[in-house]
Every structure is written in C-alpha cells, then in structure tokens.
C-alpha cells in the first residue's frame, strides 16, 4: 500500500516544476554606481597580482586603491548633494545624510582621551571635563581680553575708564529685549516644513507672543558672563 501511495505522490510531485522564490533584498546604496563597482574590481585584481609580484605591482595597487577611495568620496558627496537639493525639507534631508554617514557601531574610544593644556598632557577624564567646562564658561571674558579691552577702576571714587579696540574677524554678543526677539521671529519666512524638532517657522510665528519672553531669557542667559 505504501509503495502505491509513494508512486502516486512522486508522479504528481514531478508534474509540477519547482519554482525558486526570489526574495527582494535591501537595495545597494545609490552612491554605489557602476563606476565605483568597476573601480572595486580593478582594486581586487591589482591586489591579487601584487601578492607574489615585483614591487612595482604593489605600488600600482596602492595607487589604484587611493584612486578608488577618492572615487567613493566623490560619489557619496554627489549623492548627498542630490538628496538634499531634491528634498522638500533640506534641513531634515541634511540630518538624514549625516546620520547615514555615522557608523552603525559606536567608537570604542568615546570622547576626548587626552588634552594638551598649559604645556602638559591631561588624561584624567574628570580633569579634562573641568578644563573644558572652565573654557566654555569663561569664553566671553576670553573674547574681551583678546579684543584688547583694558579697564582701570579707581579705588578713591573716580570714574572708571574703559578702552576697547575691536579685532578683525570677530563678533561680540550682547543682551537683547523681547521686542528684538519678536521682530526676529516675525521676519522668518512662512513655511510648514518641520525641522528635526518637529517645529516649523509658521508654528513659531503663530505663538510669537508666548515664545518671545522665553527665548529672550534663554539668549540673555547664554551671553551673560
């Protein structure tokens, strides 16, 4: 009985040809053009030839490899420029390009591992953090000193004299009032395109009265010494 069943089953099974189901995998990156693929094949061929060949072939391999790396950078740059220029939201497209360029795995050594300060090398993370914090907190005072600001205060009640000379290619921030913040917000172009925080200029202008005092306080706090 089993032999009869097996023959009938095999007959029907053989009547239908096997169909290979092709699953669509993830597409290759757009910057990986035919030119880049052809360059990669030339690198592979040059690598095989230089393994047991004369030194000239190794020099040729290194030159082809460097050319291939420059070609990849140029192709990625063109693709990034095309993606941003064709997007309806250039800001978001720019961040997408940046995020795509980041490695999938974080670096093994995160942050600053050592810092040159006052002629010595600092490797202690806490000391590095303290030095950086001090630098950022006192950056305003440093700019004033770099501008040639000289201040002399008398101790006997005489008026103080201040002499400040500007330096080229520099700028200084000063505190603002709510009217300036409001005027800056209203000068924005109307747009419903959202940034990475999900806000658009039209939304900000709609709530200008509520946002102006808050933004003014934030700005003044950031520039105060």
Q: Show the tokens assigned to 141.
A: 């005072």
Say how many C-beta atoms besides its own lie within 10 A of residue 153's C-beta: 9
**CA distances for 73 relative to 14, 84, 87, angstroms:** 53, 17, 21
∠ at Cα 170 (167, 175), nearest 5°?
Answer: 115
Residue 117, strand partner residues: 120
Domain boundaries, the chain: 29-101, 115-144, 178-223
One digit per residue, the tens of pLDDT, for the chain of length 225 reads 677 777 777 776 666 666 555 555 567 788 889 999 999 999 999 999 888 888 889 999 999 999 999 999 999 888 888 888 888 887 788 878 877 776 666 555 555 677 777 888 888 888 887 887 777 666 556 555 655 544 444 333 333 333 334 444 444 567 788 888 888 888 888 888 877 777 788 888 888 888 888 888 888 777 654
Predicted TM-score of the model (pTM):
0.39
Place of tokens 């080229």: 168
> Rounded to an integer, what distance in angstroms lies between the CA atom of residue 213 and that of residue 171?
24
How high is the pLDDT of residue 103? 64
How high is the pLDDT of residue 8? 77
């Amino acid at each position: 009985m089993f032999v009869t069943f097996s023959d009938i089953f095999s007959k029907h099974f053989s009547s239908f040809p096997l169909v290979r189901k092709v699953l669509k995998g993830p597409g290759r990156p757009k910057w990986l053009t035919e030119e880049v693929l052809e360059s990669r094949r030339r690198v592979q061929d040059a690598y095989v030839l230089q393994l047991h060949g004369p030194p000239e072939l190794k020099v040729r391999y290194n030159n082809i490899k460097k050319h291939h790396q420059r070609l990849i950078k140029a192709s990625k740059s063109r693709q990034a420029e095309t993606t941003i220029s064709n997007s309806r939201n250039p800001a978001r497209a720019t961040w997408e390009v940046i995020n795509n360029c980041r490695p999938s795995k974080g670096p093994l050594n995160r942050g600053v591992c050592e810092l040159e300060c006052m002629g010595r090398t600092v490797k202690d993370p806490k000391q590095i953090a303290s030095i950086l914090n001090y630098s950022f907190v006192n950056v305003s005072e440093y700019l004033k000193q770099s501008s040639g600001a000289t201040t002399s205060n008398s101790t006997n009640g005489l008026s103080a004299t201040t002499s400040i000379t500007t330096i080229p290619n520099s700028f200084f921030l000063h505190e603002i009032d709510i009217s300036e913040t409001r005027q800056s917000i209203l000068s924005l172009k109307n747009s419903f395109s959202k940034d990475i925080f999900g806000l658009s200029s039209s939304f900000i202008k709609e709530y200008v009265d509520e946002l102006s005092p808050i933004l003014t306080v934030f700005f003044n706090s950031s520039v105060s010494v």
